[in-house]
Structures are given as C-alpha cells and as structure tokens.
C-alpha cells in the first residue's frame, strides 16, 4: 500500500521542520533523557484487534464506510499498512470465529511479511454463530446447562489451538455473562460455574501461555456481570494459578473509577496481564484513545511505567498492549493511527516524569510539588520525540498525513468496494 | 388469541382469593378511596410501541425468541392480545418506516376491532434505510448538508401524514444527532440547524396535534447529543410554540438525576408532553419498568399526579404514556405485561398518598412525617386494586398467569415460526 | 424515658387495628411462614452508632437540633430509649476518642440496665484531636512518617482495650487515608504501609475478636482512597488472616455499583464481616436506610439471607449489623427509628422470598418468573409482621408514634438544653 | 511581601532559559499568533474568592495550615501577593457576612494599592450566623415561612449595598436550598418561592449590576436542589430579566455532564454570566483547576473563546471569571497559583485553535481532522507564552517558584501565627 519511495518523499518534505523541533526538544530535555525515551518508544508495539479494522456500530445502527477488509488476509494487510506508517503496530489480535485461518502457516508467513506477530487470541461466547448447538442467550461459562458450558469451554480450547498454530502466546477471555434483572442469577453459582469453566480452559493452556480474564462493569448485561470488576477478575485469576492474569479495558468501569490505582495494585500483586486502550465519557464508548481524558491516560502510564520497573518487567513485552475501540464515525485506520499516537504520547510523558523528585515530594507530603512534577511532564510537547522514533524505525513522520496524502482509503474502496463489510461485529 | 371463555375460566379460578384480598384492602383504605383509585386505574392506558414486540438486542448481538410479529397486522394483534389480558394497553405507537401501513383505513379498523387507538407516531432519522438518498451518519436535522436536513424534515412530515390517516394526534421526535468526539460539532450551529428543522416540522403539524421533543444524555453519540437534556428540550419546545412539548424517557439521564423534580418543573411550565417508561441501572438499559428502582417510579408518579391535578390535566389523556423498552432476555409480551403492572402499581400508590397530610408536613418542615406519608402509600400492597380494576374492565385477574396458562408464546411460534423477526431494530 | 404504662397504653390503642391486619396477613402467608419470619425478626438487632445520636452536618454547616446527648451516659440512655421503643436496637457501637468511658464497668452495667450490649468499636484516625502529637492530615496508616503510623496503630490498640473492658468483640477500622491529587501518593507504598499497620493491630486482637476493614470510594480524599473498594478491602483482609473481614457501607461505592453482588461474593469467600446501613442518591449521603432505594435494600438482604444460610451463619449474630447515617434535617432518634423499620422490612421481605421457586426459575432461565418471585415478596405489605414482632418482644406497635405522643424530644430539650451538642462529628 | 528587587532577581535568574523557550515557540507559532495570544493573556484576570485563602475542610474535619489571613485586610494582602506574583489575580470576590468591611472606602483604597478591584459579591444563606433571627435549616428563599424568606432577601440586598460601596458590579447567589428526602419539598412551591425572592433581590440591583444564579446538582442537600442544573438556572434567569445570568461552577454537575456544551448554549442564549473554576473527580471536590481533567478545561475554554467572539463579548470583561476551590491538603496560596496557571494555559490553548480549519473540518464532517486540530493546540507547550505574558506585565516568570524561594508561607506564619484561622468556612 505504501511504497518505500512514498515514505521517503513524505519524510523528506517534513524533515526540516521536524529536525528543528526535535533538536530544540532534545536540548531542553538533555540528550540522555531524549535517547532513553526514544529507545523505549521504538520498542513499544501496540496490537491492533482485527475487529477494529471495520466500521463499528451501536444497537441503533451502523453506518459503514467503504473499503473494509473482507478476509483475514485483508485484515493483515490493513495492520501491515498501519505498521508501515508508524512502526508501532507490529502485532495483530485475532478473534475467533471471525478470523479462523484456513491455512495457519500461510497466514503466519503473510503476517511475518508485514513484520507482524500474533498477539492475544480472543474467544467469543457472547454471540450465537450460525449452526451453533446451544445458545449463549443466558450466558456461557455461567450457564445453568452443562452442555452450554461445555460448548463454551471447547470453543476456548479451540481458540488456543488456533493461536498455537499462529505463534500467539495468550488467550483473552471476555465473558458477557451476567444478568439483566434482579433475581435472574445466583451470583454464587454463576461465579462457581464460571470458575470451573475457566479451570478447564486453564488446564488446556500451553506451558508458555497466559490467560487474561477481562472484567467489565456492565453491557450487554444491565444488572450484573459475572466478571464485573477488577476484584472479581483478581479472584478468578488468583484461584486459577500463575498463568492467569487480569486484563484492564479502560472503558469497563463504573463512573469516576480510579483506574490508575487499580493498575498499580494489580501490578503490585503480580496479576496485571494486559491492557485494552480506548477512551470514553459515559460507558464503554470505545472512542479513540486519549480523545476524552488524555491526562488520565498519562496517569495510567505513569503507574504502568513505575510498576513495571518495580517488578523488573520489560516495558515492551511484560504486559499485553492492545487497542480495543469501535470506529463509528471515523475511518477505522485513521482512528487507529490517532489512538497509537495518543498512547505513545502518554507513555513518553510518563517516561519523562522525574521519579526521584516525585518520590521525594511524596515522602515530604509536598502535594503541590508532586502535582507540578507530573504536570511538567504532561505539559511538555513530546510529539517531536514520537516523530523521531518513527523516523529512526523507518516509519512516517506523520502517519496520518501520509495516509491522507496517498488517499489510501480511496484506493481501498476501489479495490474492495464501497459495500465491503468487515467480518465481525 | 384469548377466547372469552378462557378469560372467564381463569378469573373464576382466582376469584375467591382475589375477593378475599380486595375486600380486606378496600375496608382498610375505605371504600371511597378504593373506588376513587379504581376508577382512575380503569381509565389509565399505556401505549405499547410497535418495536417492543420483538426481541431487542445490543451492539454485541441479539438472541431472538420465536413467534415475533412479522407485519404491522401481527403487531396490532400482539397489542390487542395484551389489551385483552389487561385492558390497560389500549393504544399502539408506530414507528415509521418500520410500520408503514399499506392501507391506513384497514389498519385503523383492525386496531379498532381490538379496542386500540394510535398513540404518538415516531420518526426515524437515526438509521439509514435501503435506498435512502442521504446518510444520517453525521446527524439529521443538525447536519451540515442542507439536503440531509431537508430529507429528515420531509420524513417527519411524511410520518405526520401517516399518523393523520390512522387518527394519531402526536409526533415524537427523537434525534440521535450529536457528536462522538470533541471538536466534531459546532454546538451552536447544531442547535440552530436543529431548531430550524423542527420549525419546519412544526409548521406541518395539524391544528390538534402535538410534537414531543425527546431528549437523551448519550448514546448512540458518545460525546454530545444535540437534544441532550431537559433544559435543551425545553429551549426547543418553548421556541417552537404551544404545540411543542418535552418528552421524558426514564433512561435518558445522567447518573443520579432527580427525574421527579424535572417532571414537576416541566409540568409547572406547561411543557411536559409525554413519557417513555422503562428502567435502568447504568444507562439507557431499557429494562422492564419498575424492575430496578420501583420507588423512583412511584416518586415520579407522585409528581405527575400532583402536577396534573394542579394544572387541571386529565390523568388519562393529559400526557402521552408509553413504554419504551428493549426485551433482550425475556419474552417481549411477558415483559410488557410486567411493565404495565409496575406502572399501574406506582400510579395507584401515588393516588393513595395523603396529599393534605403531605402538604401539611411540608409546610411545617416535618421531614420525617413527609417520608412516612410517602412510604405508607408505597408500602401498602395495592395489587388487589389492580386486579379488581382489571376484573371490572373485563381483563384477567392475572394477565401474565393467563398468558402462560394458555401457552400463548408456543402458539405464536407455531403460527409465525421460530425464526420470525419483528421488523424494526 | 418511656414508662411501661405508656407503652401499654399505646399498644392498647393500636391493638385492634393491628390484630385485624396481622390476622389477615398471617392467613395469607400461612402461619408457618408468618411464625418463621416473626421469630427471626424478634432476634434481629441493629447496632446504633453513638455518633448518630446528634445532628450531623456537611462541610457547609450544621443545624443543630436540641436535647442531644452530652455524654456517653446520655448516648446510652438514647439507645436504651430506642430499644425500649422497638426492641431491635439492643446494641451500641462506640467511637473512640469521642466515647472513652471513665469507668468501663459502670458503663457496661448502665448499658445492661437498658438491655444493651456493645457492638463493634470504632477508631478515629481521620481527625486530629487536641494535643495529639502527630497530624493525620496526610493519612494515618499510609503515612510516610513512621511516627504517625505508630501513633495510629497505638490508637487502634487502645480502642481494642476499651472495647475489651466493655465486652465488645470487634473493631471497625475506617481509614480516610488516600490522596486528593494525582501524584500525591505512591499507591503501592500506601498499600504496603497500611497493610503493615493493620498487621500490627491484628496482632493485638483478642482471640475471639474480629477486625472489620471498611472501604470507601471517595471522601474526604478526592482522588484516591487507600482502602477504596471491596477488592482492596478483600486483599487486606485475606492477607491479615481469619479474624479479618470486609465491612460494607452502602454509601461507599461508585455510582451504579451492584452492591448485592459484592455482598454475595464476599459471603461466598467467607470474608463479609459487617454492614453499615444508610441510603444515598449521590455519594456517601448517609440518609435514612431505605429512604431512596428500598428495592436495592431488599435485594441486598435477599443475598444476605441466602448467603448466610449457605454458610450456616446465624442471621442475628453471624454478621455485624449497624446503622451509619448522618441526621442533618431530621430528629436523629426519629430518623434511627425509621431506619430500623426500613431495614427490618427489607429483611422480612427477603425472608418471604420463595427460594425453591426462585432457584427453579433460575435453573430454567425463566427471567420473568424470577422477577415475579422477588417482586411478590417486595410488594407484600409486611408491616403487620414487624408490629407483631415488636408486640411480642415488648416494644411499641408504632415506635415513632409513641415517640411523638410522648413528646420525647421536647422532654430531652428540657433536660439537656437546646444548645446541647453531641460529642463527635 | 514581595519586593521589586526580589522579583527582578528571580526573573533575571530564569530569563535566559525562558528566552530560549519563548523564542523557539514564538517562531514556531509565528509572531502574529504569539503576540495575539500574549495580549489576551496579559488582559486576563481571574478573581480570587476571599474564602479560598484559608485551609478548607470536609465534614470529617479540617487540617489547618498556618499563617492564614485573620481579617479582610489580610485577605486583600494575600490576593495582592498573588497578583504581584502573576499579574493575573487582579480581583477579589468577597463573601458576606465573613468579609463585612468596617470602612468600605478604606478597604477600597487598600485593594487599589494592590492593583485589585472587587469582583462579584457572594451572599450566604446556607449557614446560620450567631444571633440570626431565623434558621436556614430548611432553606432560605424556598422556605415555607415568609419571615425566613424575608430575612434572606434582606441579606442579599445588604450584600448588594456592601458591594456598591466597594465598586463591585455583580451579585452571585448560590442557594443550598433543596431537600434531603423524598416528600420533603413541594418542588413547584419551592421554585415559585425562590423565584419570588430572586425577583425582590433583582429589583434592588443597581442599574449597572448583574445577578448570577448559580446552580448545583447536590450537596449540602442530598435529594433535590432548588437551583439544581443549568436548565433551572436558565428558567430563573430568563424570568428575572436582562440583568440575570447563569453562573457555571465546574464541580456542580452530575457525573459525565458535557459542561462545554452547556457553556456554549448559555452563551448562545445570552445567559452565561460567570464561571467558578475548580476540578473534581467525584462530586464538588473543589480541587485545583486543571488538576484532574485538563483537557475538559481546554474544551470549555474552546467554547468560551468561540462563543464570546460570536457575541462580541470582550474576553477579559464579558464574563465573570473566578476560582472557587477548597484547599484541604495544599497551601492555599500555592494552590491558587497553580489554578491560575492551569486556567491561563487552557485559555491560551483555546486561543491557539485554528478556527478556520476547525469550521472547515466540521462542515465536511471530517471528525478525525477536527480532533487533530483541537489536540494540536492542546499538545503544544504554551507555558513559555504564559511566562512571557507575566514578564511583560511585571510579574514573576515562575510565581510558585518565587513564592517558595522567598519562603512566604514561613513569613506569614511568623506574622500571623500557626493557629491563625481564616474567617469563613
């Protein structure tokens, strides 16, 4: 999609302005700091979920764009394009059954040709598929009917098998299980059945795999959710064993939750496994990362960076980083480029925090100084660092700019058609 | 669906137990009070929306039940059945384009044969229909493109024309117009364009019609909504003129909103037009009325009863009463029977409130006594009054019981099939 | 305060009406059910916190009533009065340092003379007391300064010693520790320091004591709280050991939290220790129990009753039951009588739930039936059962009525003065 | 407090680093843009409320700092100090009865000597003052007792008279009137009584004065507030007349409210009067402006700047700008310096928004571009512009830095004592 000469041409055009800004910034930060952050930014990769490549929707409808990927191969091509533009999207997260590969090895090679690896696999027991024996209308692992639970367990094991073939190393289990009305559910039995099912899935995990137990406060169930908050996810994960972790999706909380504190405590307990980035104002709005509460995103990364260092976790590989958003009114690829940029900006700001000064302020209860330290990092314009990291990694100075200059959406529509609909939601 | 002999048989079976309870209650309340409430309960009718007769869903999926109505005629039959069971559902609220009648007069007669009239008509500019010239992806009346606005205005006028043919007297306009990202919208221009469009629709209203401007805090837009709260709806309605009113949907508020106060003030200002009943815990969950916060429902009716009396509005006809719910995990007809029961129970409790004593407590700032007065009404078991009202109106003592005894869902599935899908959402 | 003859006179006046209602209800329920619930109601005692006997306030001010208790002795007298009126308030929960007894044995005997025992002791490290060596401005157990932490630990141990002298068997630790600004706190270090402090307190617990770790989402800190949700409280309690439990206060959650599910899971894990009853619409509003969301209160009791049975816990003694409210605009004693009534009503409704039918509906995913079963219990007017339980226990048919008939507040003001201010908040 | 030579010394030390940053930024922005923003920043003044100069507290307690102002004169000195440091705090907002001047003319001259004018006057009917004839326990203007209402009206008129003597031109009326329990209040009567009282106050307004009707969702009343949201405030203001406006306090909303849209609509209707800046995560937390949601603050200023231009309002004088915060854990003066900095930063960012490009993106429904345009302004580090504006206005390059270098709090404690308590809350 993007030819090397196009990239070079683009970068050549923006080079002078970039160098001016980067040089100034690097001098202000000091080159040691600048290089330290640059190195981490170059390493940092955020997985793109296959289902975010098409237009999303709400229960009221969906307004499709055009040129959406019609197959797993086209999804990989789209992520490959993003990665070519920003060199920060070097992984793809698949969803079964939407993305069952007909030939795992061929798919693996196709991905590799784009520089992509396979991140966490995602199972689906929140929808009924055509021809499915038992319905998930009343849940999957929590279900009162043992046959439904068995079907759900087997599906998850099947997803693991697909993932093994592709070189994935983790399974994300998001259960929509819960209830919409008081009385509908025995909370205890639902918990116990779900735990039993997770244990069976856990037993099928390869030795070097992780399982991520995702929680969510509400939706699509509107009274209770069986993995409803971090405390419940933690209970499951700690009962399951050392390969089980909690996955945090930013949109899956009650109003006003302090997500950064949750992240910090889960890291402390060794049970934070991965992250789904997005942003929201009301519920699980699945908006572009950093588009509503960028300071919160920074505060979360502030805890992540600090907490991972405290546990000796590698920033790039210690946790699973993934976007999980729904693109209802924007071009999905543009939206993903914006999300990656916002995530990396928040990460860079977190890396800029003067930790020694911060700890010192904290020890002295100097609240104003602690705030100044965080705000100083957040208010510094680190976009030139992000651009420099891209430049060094062989990506575009302005990924979104190049995407538009090359009219990539127009080309995708020409190739795939205006009515193309991505498989999935 | 329900034969008179089946109804008689059912009532005969429950008559003795009912009489025992009703007699005791009527004595406790005093017959004057009992008869006063009974008379109002018999008059009270709640419109059933055509789109609530099928299984609802979320953006994650939909688990259809069976035997859903496949046509407008079958929707009318379903509402007719509900009305036969409870004699409180004597109106149907249609949605265009889902319910365009091919022969208005025939449909009117069909409805009349079930004792039904046509309540508010609902337009749809939140979805694109096949073959539609312009897309509502970025709004309808707020749209920057005049052609989209014109299309939306004409659609609404078209809905009025359909409504006239059926004898409806009001138009409900729910606009999903808004934005999902900061910056997307000029709030002022969106307001002004929307107002202009509403003025054109208003101008097309027949002399004896009302227009209801519904508001909603969020969803399907996740940053702003152009008719986002009661204050905005009030602004539109007051600028439009005397035929324009605000419509309150219980699920369309921010967390913790005091809806009963909003209702009271809108009534005071003469701008409350109608009501959409449902219940919710998190957002616009569209659950069965009274299933989550029955005391709030009572408090709302407490304001409605008092406020309508203060303005001399007839309880049965002064406002538009309608259910607006989504039936994701229950049989839609059973759910609607439960909603009607909960609404009438709250209404009866409100009618039981000792208003003289309450005003007296208020004047004396006797907060504990005011609470006792409200709670005394709420805690009284008025279900025997509801049953008696049904009995006198020719309905079933236990509508849900009779529905199940007669295995009506099974019969509907036999007639309409397991895969029947209601037109609409 | 209340003479036996006044009580007898009161009951005699209301006896006929009561008997009429009770007889009818007992027949409807069946005498076995009625007697089963009655027995439990008579046993059920709710502790009154000493600080709730005076007028509460907000940061904007406090509007004192009159006749407030000026000493521990007068607080005991007030609770004794409540207990004489309803025979359901047979315990008092003290707060140190507000309620330090000068002579523990004498206080114990005074309480016993009113039929009262001492429920959980409460420590206070959220305020500075006159003459205190170190300030809790920046927390207590989480504090960066070891001297502050030591002071807080010693205070808690001191509270245990006072409690032992009085026959109490538990310590409630509510920490306001947290932060008001991003950056202020190292979440991990705050957690670890707090855990260390709790461990020291735990080590000082007598063998037959429990420690309750209370959580709260926010206030008085407005960014983070170091025991901020049930998950965090559970972490502390499980690390501390078998004498440590979580305490749930209804007002201490984020908006829309499903508290009944939390209760159910904590019971399942054997870590639910006690309960603080109140009600709220916005935050920790500390309103009268059942005054805002009575159905939620019922749903919580539904889980409590079921979960305690599942673990073989005695309803009356298995958990700590306590009111924690603030009486800003009502007479505190009247408010407490209303709270006790609402709590017992919810408990009685929960006892009426047909558990066999409910489990059956759940197993069959009959959501509508499950809702009907819960609502049937909630909608039944069980006030005559409460009155009968009081009558049998030697209390008043209408505690609030008798309180007013005897003009007790007027007498208290005459005795204690209009400007009496309860020690405490 | 701050001598000119200290200021010069401070600025000399930071001059070189500042010039380096400013020069770079001005070149990047273009000098026209830089100068345009600089001019507006120099003009922009934010009033300091007299009650924010001392330590704030919660209902659970208050941890006083030292050196708090003990008199109106010392409060003026404190604001004078802030203004000397940042030249952006050239106004003070008084609160009666806490700040009744014994000699108005002398106070006016004292303020003038610090370069200060008197912003909006604030009345207090949410607390009882010693010796007050009637209590506001159950409200003031809403009260059922005409004598209470009269007292409240007269107090407000008294506040106007004090304000006239000082040269103020506006009255802010914040009413805590409302109710804490369902049933307590007749919403309609409360509204009507309040409107009547406001009309009496309005009638006493001098010709060139404005009255600001502040709204608040909850606290200190926990069920309803009689001026509870912008819609209610708008109703009062529009019924009162052209001198009446709505005042927006950022902390006075339900969770997730879109405040920037409210601001935009009120400006459109000509009814936005003023602003109370602070920040919050949960309720009316009254934290430092910009400390929790700085992007929201920017979005609000984006609407303010645009909306004021659309109505031809002068940015500096068209609306009332005021901080309203509570300083529980920080030095109040430091906190105010941080708030002013954050407010001006958000304002500068809003002035940087490319409005032509933004409107163009909007007209084309280019949502991604609209987001890029806003984020580009927000992500630009404009702190050098703020410093330059201060330098030109004769203030400190780093106000907080100079405050600390000069150890002003230590000096204040030496002068005023450690136990000094500011009059007021």
pLDDT in tens, A315-358: 999 999 999 999 999 999 999 999 999 999 999 999 999 999 99
Query: Is pLDDT at C288 greater than 80 in this prediction?
Result: yes
Chain C partners of D176 at a C-beta cutoff of 8 Å? Answer: 60
Write a three-state SS string for chain D. Answer: CCCHHHHHHHHHHHHHHHHHHHHHHHHHHCHHHHHHHHHHHHHCCCEEEHHHHCECCECCECCCCCCCCCCHHHHHHHHHHHHHHHCCCCEEECECCCCCCCCHHHHHHHHHHCCCEECCEECCCCCCCCCCCCCCCCCCCCCCCHHHHHHHHHHHHHHHHHHHHHCCCEEEEECCCEECCCCCCCHHHHHHHHHHHHHHHHHCCCCCCEEEEECCCCCCCCCEECCCCHHHHHHHHHHHCCCEEEEEECCCCCCCCCHHHHHHHHHHCCCEEEEEECECCCCCCCECCCCCCHHHHHHHHHHHHHHHHHHCCCCCCCCEEEECCCECCCCHHHHHHHHHHHHHHHHHHHHHCCHHHHHHHHHCCCHHHHHHHHHHHHHCCCHHHHHHHHHHHCCCCCHHHHHHHCCHHHHHHHHHCCCCCCCCC
C-alpha distances in Å from residue A133, one per residue of A129, A130, A198, C331: 9, 9, 20, 62
Domain boundaries, chain A: 4-416
Average pLDDT, chain A: 97
Q: Which residues, other chains included, contact A402 with Cβ-Cβ below 8 Å and sequence gap of 6+?
A: A2, A6, A7, A10, A85, A396
Q: Which residues, other chains included, contact B326 with Cβ-Cβ below 8 Å and sequence gap of 6+?
A: A59, B52, B56, B57, B278, B286, B425
Judge: D310–B218 Cβ closer than 8 Å, yes or no: no
The residue of chain C nearest to residue A226, with distances taken between CA atoms, is C261
Mean pLDDT of C345-353: 98
Judge: D220–C61 Cβ closer than 8 Å, yes or no: yes
CA of A63, closest CA in chain B: separation in Å? 6
Nearest to B392 by CA among B9, B15, B2: B15
Judge: D293–A291 Cβ closer than 8 Å, yes or no: no
Nearest to A136 by CA among B328, C304, D34, B259: B328
How many Cα neighbours within 13 Å face the side chain of D358? 23
Judge: C303–A187 Cβ closer than 8 Å, yes or no: yes
Nearest to B358 by CA among B316, B311, B305: B305
Q: What is the band of A418 on the pLDDT scale with cuts at 50, 70, 90? A: confident
User: At CB < 8 Å, which residues of chain B contact C?
Assistant: 21, 24, 28, 255-256, 258, 281-282, 288, 290-296, 329-331, 334-335, 338, 342, 345, 367-368, 371-372, 375, 378-381, 383, 400
Contact of A136 with A155, CB cutoff 8 Å: no
> CB neighbours (10 Å) of residue B152?
27
Please report all neighbours of B, defined by 3+ CB atom pairs within 8 A.
A, C, D
Distance CA D160, CA B357 (A): 40
Contact of B311 with B262, CB cutoff 8 Å: no
Contact of B265 with D235, CB cutoff 8 Å: yes
End-to-end CA distance of chain D: 25
- Report residue B420 as tokens: 């029947």
Chain C partners of D250 at a C-beta cutoff of 8 Å? Answer: none
Distance CA B95, CA B212 (A): 14
Q: pLDDT at position D425, please?
A: 57
A375-392 pLDDT, tens digit each:
999 999 999 999 999 999
Judge: B268–D359 Cβ closer than 8 Å, yes or no: no
Label the pairing between strands B117-118 and B170-174.
Answer: unpaired
> CB neighbours (10 Å) of residue A164?
14
Write a three-state SS string for A212-240. Answer: EEECCCCCCCCCEECCCCHHHHHHHHHHH
Query: Which of C215, C238, C261 should we substitute to test contact with A (largest number of A Cβ atoms within 10 Å)?
Result: C261
Please report all neighbours of A, defined by 3+ CB atom pairs within 8 A.
B, C, D
Q: What is the band of A296 on the pLDDT scale with cuts at 50, 70, 90? A: very high
Query: Is pLDDT at D424 greater than 70 in this prediction?
Result: no
> What's phi and psi for B332, nearest 5 deg?
-55, -40
Q: Which residues, other chains included, contact C312 with Cβ-Cβ below 8 Å and sequence gap of 6+?
A: none
> CB neighbours (10 Å) of residue A311?
11
Q: pLDDT at position B352, please?
A: 98
- Report residue B67 as tokens: 């035997």
Judge: C256–B282 Cβ closer than 8 Å, yes or no: yes
C159-214 pLDDT, tens digit each:
999 999 999 999 999 999 999 999 999 999 999 999 999 999 999 999 999 999 99
Q: Which residues, other chains included, contact B370 with Cβ-Cβ below 8 Å and sequence gap of 6+?
A: B358, B361, B362, D181, D183, D184
Contact of A98 with A423, CB cutoff 8 Å: yes
Q: What is the band of C425 on the pLDDT scale with cuts at 50, 70, 90? A: low
A31-43 pLDDT, tens digit each:
999 999 999 999 9
B129-167 pLDDT, tens digit each:
999 999 999 999 999 999 999 999 999 999 999 999 999
Q: pLDDT at position A419, please?
A: 81
C-alpha distances in Å from residue B247, one per residue of A100, B230, D257: 47, 9, 20
Average pLDDT, chain C: 97
Query: Is pLDDT at B425 greater than 70 in this prediction?
Result: no
Distance CA A68, CA B371 (A): 59
Chain D partners of C61 at a C-beta cutoff of 8 Å? Answer: 126-128, 220
Distance CA D151, CA D146 (A): 9
Mean pLDDT of D230-250: 98
D353-386 pLDDT, tens digit each:
999 999 999 999 999 999 999 999 999 999 999 9
> What's phi and psi for C131, nearest 5 deg?
85, 0
Judge: C60–D127 Cβ closer than 8 Å, yes or no: yes
Judge: A229–C231 Cβ closer than 8 Å, yes or no: yes
Judge: D345–A379 Cβ closer than 8 Å, yes or no: yes
B265-308 pLDDT, tens digit each:
999 999 999 999 999 999 999 999 999 999 999 999 999 999 99
Judge: A379–D383 Cβ closer than 8 Å, yes or no: yes
> What's phi and psi for A225, nearest 5 deg?
-125, 140
Distance CA D131, CA B135 (A): 67
Chain B partners of C21 at a C-beta cutoff of 8 Å? Answer: 28
Query: Is pLDDT at B420 greater than 80 in this prediction?
Result: no
CA of D399, closest CA in chain C: separation in Å? 20
Q: pLDDT at position C1, please?
A: 82
Please give the radius of gyration of chain D, using alpha carbons only, rounded to the nearest integer: 22
Q: How many beta-carbon pairs below 8 A join chains B and D?
A: 140
Q: pLDDT at position B419, please?
A: 81
> For the purposes of burial, counting CB atoms within 10 Å of the CB of D228, is it exposed (0-12), middle (13-18) or buried (19 or more)?
buried
Average pLDDT, chain D: 97
Distance CA A136, CA B61 (A): 10
Nearest to B316 by CA among B31, B26, B47, B29: B47
Residues C87, C91, C96, CA angle at the centre, nearest 5°? 150
Cα dihedral: D331, A380, A313, A239 (round 10): 60
Residue B61 has its nearest CB partner, among A127, A217, A329, at A127
> Domain B4-416 has what CATH class?
alpha beta
Q: pLDDT at position A50, please?
A: 96
- Report residue A81 as tokens: 């394009």
Label the pairing between strands C320-323 and C272-277.
Answer: parallel
**No. of helices (H) and no. of strands (E), chain A:** 15, 11
Query: Which of B295, B300, B325, B352 should we substitute to test contact with C (largest number of C Cβ atoms within 10 Å)?
Result: B295
Chain D partners of C176 at a C-beta cutoff of 8 Å? Answer: 60
Q: pLDDT at position A420, please?
A: 73
Characterize B109-121 residue by residue with b for buried, 16 or more Cβ atoms within 10 angstroms of its Cβ, and e for exposed: ebbeebbbbbbbb
The residue of chain D nearest to residue B377, with distances taken between CA atoms, is D183
Chain B partners of D138 at a C-beta cutoff of 8 Å? Answer: 365
Contact of B268 with B260, CB cutoff 8 Å: no
Distance CA D360, CA D374 (A): 13
Residues C302, C308, C309, CA angle at the centre, nearest 5°? 95
> For the purposes of burial, counting CB atoms within 10 Å of the CB of C14, is it exposed (0-12), middle (13-18) or buried (19 or more)?
middle
Residues in a beta bridge with C287: C279
Please report all neighbours of D, defined by 3+ CB atom pairs within 8 A.
A, B, C
Characterize A117-126 residue by residue with b for buried, 16 or more Cβ atoms within 10 angstroms of its Cβ, and e for exposed: bbbbbbbbbb
Q: pLDDT at position A71, please?
A: 95
Q: pLDDT at position C424, please?
A: 62
Q: pLDDT at position B251, please?
A: 98
Chain C partners of B256 at a C-beta cutoff of 8 Å? Answer: 255, 281-282
Q: How many beta-carbon pairs below 8 A join chains C and D?
A: 109
Q: pLDDT at position B423, please?
A: 63
Judge: A187–C265 Cβ closer than 8 Å, yes or no: yes
Contact of D326 with D57, CB cutoff 8 Å: yes
Q: What's the pTM value of the predicted model, to 2 decimals?
A: 0.98
Q: Is D172 left (phi over 0), alpha (psi -120 to 50) or beta?
A: beta
Q: Collapsing DSSP states into helix, strand and coil, what is residue A113? A: helix
Q: pLDDT at position D1, please?
A: 82
Q: pLDDT at position C242, please?
A: 98
C81-91 pLDDT, tens digit each:
999 999 999 99
């Amino acid at each position: 999609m993007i030819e090397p000469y196009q990239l070079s041409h683009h970068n050549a055009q923006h080079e002078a302005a970039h160098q001016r800004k980067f040089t100034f910034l690097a001098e202000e930060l000091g080159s040691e700091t600048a290089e330290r952050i640059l190195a981490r930014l170059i390493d940092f990769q955020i997985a793109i979920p296959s289902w975010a490549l098409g237009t999303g929707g709400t229960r009221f409808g969906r307004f499709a764009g055009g040129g959406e990927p019609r197959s797993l191969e086209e999804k990989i091509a789209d992520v490959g394009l993003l990665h070519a533009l920003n060199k920060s999207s070097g992984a793809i997260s698949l969803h079964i059954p939407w993305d069952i590969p007909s030939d795992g090895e061929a798919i693996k090679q196709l991905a590799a040709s784009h520089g992509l690896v396979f991140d966490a696999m995602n199972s689906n027991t929140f929808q009924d598929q055509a021809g499915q024996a038992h319905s998930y209308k009343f849940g999957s692992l929590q279900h009162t009917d043992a046959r439904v639970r068995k079907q759900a367990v087997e599906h998850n094991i099947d997803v693991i098998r697909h993932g093994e073939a592709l070189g994935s190393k983790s399974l994300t289990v998001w259960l929509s299980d819960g209830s919409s009305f008081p009385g509908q559910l025995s909370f205890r039995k639902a918990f116990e059945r779900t735990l039993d099912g997770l244990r069976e899935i856990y037993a099928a995990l390869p030795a070097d795999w992780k399982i991520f137990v995702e929680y969510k406060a509400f939706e699509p169930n509107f009274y209770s959710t069986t993995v409803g908050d971090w405390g419940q996810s933690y209970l499951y994960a700690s009962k399951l064993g050392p390969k089980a972790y909690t996955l945090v999706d930013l949109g899956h909380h009650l109003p006003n939750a302090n997500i950064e504190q949750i992240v910090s405590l889960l890291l402390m307990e060794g049970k934070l496994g991965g992250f789904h980035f997005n942003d929201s104002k009301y519920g699980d709005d699945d908006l572009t990362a950093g588009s509503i509460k960028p300071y919160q995103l920074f505060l979360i990364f502030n805890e992540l960076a600090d907490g991972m260092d405290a546990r000796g976790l590698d920033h790039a590989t210690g946790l699973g980083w993934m976007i999980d958003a729904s693109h209802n009114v924007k071009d999905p690829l543009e939206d993903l480029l914006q999300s990656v940029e916002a995530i990396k900006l928040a990460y860079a700001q977190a890396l800029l925090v003067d930790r020694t000064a911060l700890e010192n302020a904290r020890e002295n209860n100097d609240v104003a100084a602690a705030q100044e330290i965080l705000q100083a990092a957040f208010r510094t314009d680190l976009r030139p660092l992000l651009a420099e990291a891209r430049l060094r990694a062989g990506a575009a100075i302005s990924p979104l700019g190049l995407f538009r200059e090359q009219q990539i959406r127009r080309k995708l529509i020409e190739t795939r058609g205006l009515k193309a609909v991505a498989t999935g939601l």
